[in-house]
Structures are given as C-alpha cells and as structure tokens.
Amino acid sequence: MTSLDKSLLDEFESIVGASHALHEDELVASYSTDWTGRFKGSTPLVLRPGTTEEVAQILRVASDANVALVPQGGNTGLVGGSVPLRGEVVLSLLRLNVCEPVDVLAQQVSLGAGVTLAQAQNHVSPFNLAIGVDLAARDSCTIGGMIATNAGGINVVRYGPMRDQLLGVEAVTADGSSISHLEGLEKDNTGYHLPGLFAGSEGSLAVITKARLRLHPQLDERCSAMLAFKSVGDAVSATAQLRRSVPDLHAVEVIFREAMDLVSDYISTSIPVRSDGSAWLIVEAASSSDPTDQLAQAIGDLGDLVLDVAVGHDSTSRAGLWQFREKITEAIATRGTPHKLDVTLPASELAEFVSRIPEIISEVDRRATAVMFGHLGDGNVHVNVLGDDGLEPDNEVESAVLGYVAQLGGSISAEHGIGTAKKEFLHLNRSGQEIAIFRAIKSSFDPKGILSPNTLIPAEEQ
Ligand SMILES: Cc1cc2nc3c(=O)[nH]c(=O)nc-3n(C[C@H](O)[C@H](O)[C@H](O)COP(=O)(O)OP(=O)(O)OC[C@H]3O[C@@H](n4cnc5c(N)ncnc54)[C@H](O)[C@@H]3O)c2cc1C
C-alpha cells in the first residue's frame, strides 16, 4: 500500500464517511487492476463520493495537498487509464447513479456519471427512447467513463460516438470548482463546447459528475444477418455497398478468421454460415417498421461477393448471431493477457492492413498471434495480440503495429482512448504543436497536474 498522511486520510474520510473511504488491501484490490489484468497499480485510498459537492470537497483537499487522483467508473477501460499506476487515490464515481426523469418533449435525459449504460437503457426504454451508444460492457461501464473515453461501440455507423450524444455536462475541475451546463439546448453557440472537450479527455481535465444526453427513437423492429466472405477486401466492399443501400443500417461488425475460431470454440457453437471464409460480417437494420425486406434486398444485390448468409428475424435468432461478436473480448481473455490495439484505417487500406498484420507481428515476436475483429462500418479494427501460452507478447509489437497504422494514414486509437498504453505513441498521430496545445489545455484545467497524471499526455522530453 502506498502511504498517505494520516491527517489527510482523516480529512478525506470525513467528506465521504468511513464506509465510503476504503483502504484495506482486499477492498481496494479490484479498483487497482484494469479489466484486462495487464495494468496493475496500488492505492492508499479509494473514495466513493455520493454527491457532486463531495467530489468538489475531495478535489479542494487534494489540490491543496498536491495529492493525485484517478477518476474511475466501471473500470472497463482497455488502455490502463482507470487504475492508479503510481499510488494515486482512486475517485470512484459509481455512487453518482441518479437517473433524472426523462424529458420526453426534448428527447433528452440527465444522468449521474456513475449510471451504467444498461441502467440508462432501461431507464429510457419505457418512453420508446434509446441511448445512441451501445457496447458489450454495458452492464458495468458508466456514463462518465463513456464520455471520458468518447466510447464508440456498435452503433457509431448510425448515431456517432459518445461525443455526438452530449448536450451538456456537470463537472468538477482540479481545484474543486464546479461547471454546470445542463440546459440541453440543441442550438447554443456561446463559445467553446466544453462537453466536446471533456469527451475523450480520459479524466485528465475534470471529473464528470452528470451529463445531459440526446436520445433517439427506440427501434424495436430489427433484422440481423451474418455474412461470410472469401476475402477481407470483399467484406470491405460489401460494407460500403450496404452503407449506401440500407437506409436503416444500425450496425456493421466484422470478425476475422482467428477471432471467429476462438469465439466459436468459447461459446461451443458452430458458425452458422460457411466456415471456410476469411471474414464474417454481422449486419443489423433497425426501424419502426420491419426492415427485413430492405436488408434482404441489399444483401441480394451483393451477389457473388457473399459466400453464405444466415438471417435472424426474432430476438432469439438475432441473439444467436450476435453472441459471436459480443463474446469475443471474453473469449480472448481466456487465452491470456492481450495487448489491445484499437485502430482505424482508411477504407482503401483495410484489406491490406488485415492481411499484413500477422507477418508484422511475427517479425517482432515469432510466437505471438493476432486476433482481430471490429466495427467495419467505421473502419475500426481491434487487433488483440496474444503471446505464447498465455504470456504477454513482446512490447515491441505495439510500435510495429501502430507505426504501420500511422504509415497507412490511420488512427492509433479508434475508440478506447490513449490511456497509459499508447501515450508514448501519440506523436504518430499528433504533431508537436498539437501535443503542446494539449498540454496547455490540461494545465489551464489542472495546473498542478493532479488529475489522471498517467493518461493521454506523454512525458515532456528533457
Ligand atoms: C467487454 C468489453 C467490451 C468493450 N467494448 C467497447 C466498444 O465496443 N467500444 C468502446 O468504445 N469501448 C469498449 N470497451 C471499453 C470500455 O468499456 C469503454 O471505454 C467505457 O466507456 C469505459 O467506461 P467505464 O465507466 O468502465 O470507465 P473506466 O474504465 O472506469 O475509466 C475509463 C477512463 O475514463 C476516466 N473516467 C471514468 N469515469 C470518469 C468521470 N466520471 N470523470 C472523468 N473521467 C472519468 C478514467 O479515469 C479512465 O481514464 C469495452 C470494454 C469491455 C470490457
């Protein structure tokens, strides 16, 4: 356990109450290791504030005493940003879990930062409304964490990422001052858009305590299909065609060969379409009226591009197809601790990228394997590199893969963020001038550098 002055510990504890200030090793353990098990830290204290005012008081004390903190939501982040790697205090926002009444007239809702995505979905669905972002970690990830990472997920092709859902935030900056802009006005050109700045800030600028989200009509009529392709290039071409021809396209997810074999084995279910392909798409159309005909017509128009198709009309058969996509991350975790490289490529480079990756990785680590899947509608590929026999792969695979991504004009982080895992690679996508601006923004919100000091911004060269 890292030490913290006893009087400071008492001061923090008096803000949240003894039962919400955790310091015993067994109580703080789960807050100190990330979801993948790759990033393990330690903390002298986990604080679980129940109100925005308690968050503000904690930050005032921390700022005066120069104590660094790591804000944490559901701890499902995949780049090591949510854990205390250098003995920071953990600020768990899970108790800020109030869902305010749905504003049906405006089609908006204000949610506490600690509300989980599943809770938010259940809260708005009785009003025939839906949250625009959905992802497999929905039972644990929180609204605050999703904003801080600008989470993407399976419906970006239709609604955009978390930043596009944000109409306002309430947040507390490092010195304990609160900012609140929750009116939810769709048009509000009164200067800088702070919610947009907080989206993707990974806890480095402010602690998000509440958010005002735009909602979308709930689309209960759905049709899903799994499509098998001979080559990755065919899957990319089909995606472009489907995006043009299916007005109610809701998701286009891709699973590549190793990922398909792994997940099929993990869920003990054989692949419902031809298994001799190189890539499989899971496509979903959603509407207020049955979208089966529009999807069937568009798939028919793909002609020989597709090897085989399975369609899911009702919720059971759709879930049967979707489990192949939703269970991949869990399936990978059973094989070891992967290095997760979440990247975006220009559409024209995707096929070349996927075919070259195994070779690029094996040049660095002969025994490592790449398990790839992603959100093809957004050009987003998750490259999971597993080492031999459950071990982690050689660290050099990261610079080899990310360097190749940058060379092809892609992004080294599609949706998971930079965190601690990728901050030394930020220069591959951002110029020195941009990183200098990042530092200036960080220091105007957090001049002492006490918020999430290990994420996003690389160390300055001496
Ligand atoms: C099975 C699985 C599937 C996933 N699928 C996707 C996917 O499809 N798309 C995607 O984008 N991500 C995905 N993720 C990653 C992850 O779920 C998201 O990044 C999620 O948004 C993180 O939310 P969280 O509450 O768990 O945040 P945490 O992991 O707790 O924190 C993530 C970052 O946000 C900061 N943070 C957390 N709360 C706050 C706050 N209130 N104020 C300020 N900073 C804060 C933390 O300091 C940290 O830097 C997946 C993860 C898993 C485990």
Residue 408 burial (CB count, 10 A)? 16
Query: Ligand 1 pocket test: which of 149, 156, 194, 254 has the largest number of ligand atoms within 8 Å of its C-beta?
Result: 149
Ligand 1 midpoint to CA 297 (Å): 37
Ligand 1 midpoint to CA 76 (Å): 5
Ligand 1 midpoint to CA 309 (Å): 33
Three-state secondary-structure class, residue 343: strand
Query: Which protein residue has the closest C-alpha to ligand 1 atom 20?
Result: 146
Do 339 and 392 contact (CB within 8 A), yes or no? yes
In tens, the pLDDT along 7-64 reads 999 999 999 999 999 999 999 999 999 999 999 999 999 999 999 999 999 999 999 9
pLDDT at residue 1, rounded to an integer: 41
- Write the single-letter amino acid at 264: S
In tens, the pLDDT along 158-207 reads 999 999 999 999 999 999 999 999 999 999 999 999 999 999 999 999 99
pLDDT at residue 4, rounded to an integer: 86
Answer yes or no: is pLDDT of 335 > 80. yes
Percent of the chain with pLDDT over 90: 97
pLDDT at residue 220, rounded to an integer: 94
In tens, the pLDDT along 406-462 reads 999 999 999 999 999 999 999 999 999 999 999 999 999 999 999 999 999 998 875
Q: Is 162 in the pocket of ligand 1 (CB under 6 A)?
A: no
- Measured from the Cα of 206, ligand 1's closest atom is 43
CA distances for 96 relative to 57, 181, 275, 407, 419, angstroms: 15, 17, 46, 42, 23
Do 153 and 134 contact (CB within 8 A), yes or no? yes
pLDDT at residue 390, rounded to an integer: 82
Report the candidate in 8, 426, 432, 361 with the shortest Cα–Cα distance to residue 204. Answer: 426
Answer yes or no: is pLDDT of 2 > 80. no
Do 426 and 418 contact (CB within 8 A), yes or no? yes
Q: Is 203 in the pocket of ligand 1 (CB under 6 A)?
A: yes
pLDDT at residue 189, rounded to an integer: 94
Q: Which domains does the chain have, with CATH numbers?
A: 6-92 (3.30.43.10), 108-217 (3.30.465.10), 221-329 (3.30.70.2190), 335-426 (3.30.70.2740)
369-375 β-sheet, strand order: 308-312, 221-229, 279-287, 249-256, 369-375, 380-386, 339-344
CA pseudo-torsion sign 245, 248, 253, 257: negative
- List of E strands, 153-258: 166-173, 178-180, 206-217, 221-229, 249-256
pLDDT at residue 462, rounded to an integer: 56
Q: Is 78 in the pocket of ligand 1 (CB under 6 A)?
A: yes
Ligand 1 midpoint to CA 79 (Å): 9
- Write the single-letter amino acid at 202: E
Q: Is 81 in the pocket of ligand 1 (CB under 6 A)?
A: yes
- Tell me the H-state helices in 334-390: 350-364
Answer yes or no: is pLDDT of 272 > 80. yes
> What DSSP letter does each residue of 264-309 carry, written as one string?
HHHTT---SS-SS-SEEEEEEEEESS--HHHHHHHHHHTGGG-SEE
In tens, the pLDDT along 291-307 reads 999 999 999 999 999 99
Ligand 1 midpoint to CA 85 (Å): 17
What is d(CA 45, CA 82) in angstroms, rounded to the nearest whole number?
Answer: 14
Do 154 and 375 contact (CB within 8 A), yes or no? yes
- Tell me the H-state helices in 51-102: 52-65
In tens, the pLDDT along 103-158 reads 999 999 999 999 999 999 999 999 999 999 999 999 999 999 999 999 999 999 99
Do 47 and 58 contact (CB within 8 A), yes or no? yes
Ligand 1 midpoint to CA 203 (Å): 11
Do 309 and 225 contact (CB within 8 A), yes or no? yes
Ligand 1 midpoint to CA 146 (Å): 5
Q: Identify the bridge partners of residue 33 per DSSP, sorted by sequence position.
A: 40
- Write the single-letter amino acid at 444: S
Q: Is 163 in the pocket of ligand 1 (CB under 6 A)?
A: no
DSSP-derived pairing of the beta strands 206-217 and 249-256: unpaired
pTM score, two decimals?
Answer: 0.96
> What DSSP letter does each residue of 133-160 carry, written as one string?
---TTTTT-BHHHHHHTT---TTHHHH-
pLDDT at residue 461, rounded to an integer: 72
Query: Which protein residue has the closest C-alpha to ligand 1 atom 27?
Result: 145
Q: Is 143 in the pocket of ligand 1 (CB under 6 A)?
A: no
Ligand 1 midpoint to CA 92 (Å): 13
Q: Is 63 in the pocket of ligand 1 (CB under 6 A)?
A: no
Query: Which protein residue has the closest C-alpha to ligand 1 atom 11?
Result: 151
Ligand 1 midpoint to CA 325 (Å): 19
